[in-house]
Amino acid sequence: MHELTICQNIIKIIEENALKQNISNVKTIKLAIGVLSGIELDALTFSFPIAAKNSVANNAELDIEVIQGQAFCRSCSKAFNIEQYMQPCVFCGGFEYDIIQGKELKVVGILM
């Protein structure tokens, strides 16, 4: 379950920022997670309280924004939504594209 390690890294980021800003208690952590990131949201939300125990985020909640996947097709020069890797372009059926959105995992906000 790599989601526990991800949560531990999120807590590390939160604690570093809390120390810089003299924050002792975090109530909400806002995350942006792409559908192509490979992160299981249920596993992440299950693991978070374990990772947050005895930290400034001990009782914090996660507020997760899911970022839709998007790709740009090099064959037909069109952007399209993508839900999984190896999905063909919806316009031309090609597989020569670049993922331009959806692989993110970002801490976008901390609420006290």
Number of domains within the chain: 1
Q: For residue 21, give the CATH number of its domain.
A: 3.30.2320.50
DSSP 14-35: HHHHHHHTT-----EEEEEEET
pLDDT tens-digit map of 53-96: 999 999 999 999 999 999 999 999 999 999 999 999 999 999 99
- In which domain, by residue range, is 20 found? 2-68+102-111
pLDDT tens-digit map of 11-23: 999 999 888 888 8
Q: Has residue 98 got a pLDDT over 90?
A: yes
Contact at 8 Å (CB) between 74 and 98? Answer: yes
Q: Please check whether residue 16 lies inside any domain of the structure.
A: yes
Q: Please check whether residue 45 lies inside any domain of the structure.
A: yes
